[in-house]
Structure 1
Amino acid sequence: MLLELIQGTEGGGLIIIQDSIHYSGRTLLMSFIKAALKRDEVVHLLAFELHEEELKHELGHSCLQRLKFHNAFHDPLGWNENPPFTVHQFITSELDSLLTSNQHSKPVTLVIDSFSFILRHLSPSAVCKTLQQLKKGGAVKTTLGLLHSDMHHRNMVGSICHLATSVLTVAPGHQCHEAVAKTIRRAKSGKISQAVERFSISDDMTVKVQSKPVPVGSGQGEAGDAEVDPTANLTFNLRLSDQERQAKEKLALPFVFSKEKKSALLRPVPGSGRILYEPDANDDYDQEDPDDDLDI
């Protein structure tokens, strides 16, 4: 599933790479960029955390020449005059003007190197609105971004990821050169596919998957994905020992009758269960009309 997303066979949409302090997703982001350039797509990069020299080192000079680089690294808030790009330009009208400045018929991939920087300076609702409008189509085929999930509240991360077509959560693997990617893919039909894969990235930014995708919930994933026992740290015990279970089974409940008590209650007793009524002298009882006194 990871290779399908990198190769662009999944049909675009909004792809979010979630990383953390334990593992950086920047190298994987570079792999996506290089794969899109190899497909001869037009790639626009909004660079808030990436320096142009770093891109040249990672991707090579030839790739950088074909990349539409929008420098938001030096002046992201627009404090100087005529900044190349600022975080406040992350709105639909500005992005449409930016992406359609060069007329072309090739697919456009928009890459945001840090959703986290944008979320620090814009409201989550404004960011979600812009992403939703980009998702609807237009000039952009694929929107790809990196989100540092441990920098934000989980509700904010959930809101952004809820809009995504695909969410890649990366974590370190058991070996130093490997990593683990948990992929959640939402199809247009509404079907959700999940898989866990071990991968590595070579020096030329080529991703190699080390194991076949393991569907989440099959019990064959990484050890870190094992379900946590919710009763592990309780102050009371929810389980019974064999001795406690035997004592419980011998306990006579108050609402459960034994055979002896049930037979005693059901055994007929002479004179029991009868109602004797002796009419009073003042009773006006008509045998032919018993309800005469009801005044109906």
Structure 2
Amino acid sequence: MLISFSICSTMLHDLLQGTDTGGLFIIQDSGSCSGRRLLWSFIKAALNRTEAVHVLSFEVSEDELKDGLKGSPIERLHFHNAYSDPLAWTGSATFTVDQFCVEKVTKLIKQTSQVKTAILAIDSLSWILRHISPSAVCKTLQQLKNGGCVANVIGLLHSDMHSRGTVGSLCHLATSLITVKAVLRGDQAMITKRLKSGKVLQGEEVFTIKDDLTVIGQGKPSRSEPQEQMCISNMADPTANLTFNLRLSESQREAKEKLALPFVFSKEKKAALLHTGSGRIVYEPDANDDYDQEDPDDDLDV
């Protein structure tokens, strides 16, 4: 069952508060709007709840992450460096892309965390998908979600780097999907949340992120965003430099509308074809017919 509605600021706020456990959260962004600061907001919110957070970072260094989380209680933050050497060329990384499987991730978390469950943040899933098949990545995420060593998995996905099928597979696996895009008032989050009962909730919300990574809800998005209209109007016309014209003038349009198509019957032809009248069948035997009026079945030889 699919339930669609507009939300004020509750759905994104609830996700940040960590009220749902045993889930896979995917933040889907693109080159035009980054979702990394929203991922950091989820990390900070978990740290403020005194939860342990493990970060598999392929695209951001430890210094950059900690600088972004400045002011947060980072003593429970466990950074697993997959940024400096993700393919194990120099042996300097603590985590490599080929280690992304449930056994090695679980072992890594249990070695570096004293709590039974923790939050796992992945920055980003796109880097992993470039080197591991989507089916293997989906299998690992499903096992991590249900395995018990992590309370939630939060992954950043750059949707414009992958095929529609790959993105669809991961998004279908997610219990909560947050798609971000830039609008005039800030960023817009399109949220899809799957409940354990089987219901699916959908909502849209405009939000901004302060310097301290606090997410501020701006209410519902307007139906017509001025920024989107401006972008559309400023797009280059792909038909501007063609050697032929794809558009019709008014006279050409009128001539086209008056043109009778070859397989379209006129009213007169339809009336002639549909005209009903009386008729009869006339049989005229020729000289070679051996037809006996008294025995019509004589030629059957019975």
Does TM, scored on the shorter chain, surpass 0.5? yes
Q: Where does 1:82-231 land on structure 2 (aligned, <5 Å)?
A: 83-101=93-111, 102=113, 104-105=115-116, 107-175=117-185, 178-212=186-220, 220=223, 222=225, 224=228
CA contact 1:196–1:221 (8 Å) conserved in 2: no
SS state of the match for residue 130, structure 2?
helix
Q: What TM-score comes out, normalization by structure 2 length?
A: 0.73
Which segment drifts farther, 276-285 or 85-94? 276-285
Which of 258, 274, 283 is 2:290 aligned to?
A: 283
Q: Where does 1:231-250 land on structure 2 (aligned, <5 Å)?
A: 235=246, 247=258
The structure that has the greater radius of gyration is: 1
Q: CA 1:205/1:292 → structure 2, altered by over 3 Å: closer, same or farther?
A: same
Pairs aligned (count): 277
Percent identity among equivalent residues?
A: 46
Residue 78 of structure 2 is aligned to residue 68 of structure 1:
yes
Structure 2 distance, partners of 1:121, 1:282, is: 86
SS state of the match for residue 60, structure 2?
coil
Shift of 1:151: 3.3
Whose relative contact order is higher, 1 or 2, with alpha carbons under 8 Å and at least 6 apart? 2
Structure 1 unpaired stretches of 5+: none
Q: CA 1:187/1:256 → structure 2, altered by over 3 Å: closer, same or farther?
A: farther
CA contact 2:29–2:179 (8 Å) conserved in 1: yes
SS state of the match for residue 41, structure 2?
helix
Residue 294 of structure 2 is aligned to residue 294 of structure 1:
no
Superposed CA deviations along residues 118-144 of structure 1, whole A, max 9, x for unmatched, are 223333332222123223343223111
Q: What TM-score comes out, normalization by structure 1 length?
A: 0.74
CA contact 2:178–2:190 (8 Å) conserved in 1: yes
SS state of the match for residue 100, structure 1?
helix
Residue 14 of structure 2 is aligned to residue 14 of structure 1:
no
In the alignment, residue 223 of structure 2 is paired with which amino acid?
A: Q
Q: Which residue is 1:273 aligned to?
A: 280
In the alignment, residue 36 of structure 1 is paired with which amino acid?
A: A
In the alignment, residue 38 of structure 2 is paired with which amino acid?
A: L
CA contact 2:119–2:150 (8 Å) conserved in 1: yes
SS state of the match for residue 167, structure 2?
helix
Shift of 1:95: 1.1
SS state of the match for residue 29, structure 1?
helix
Residue 15 of structure 2 is aligned to residue 2 of structure 1:
no
In the alignment, residue 26 of structure 2 is paired with which amino acid?
A: I
In the alignment, residue 199 of structure 1 is paired with which amino acid?
A: F
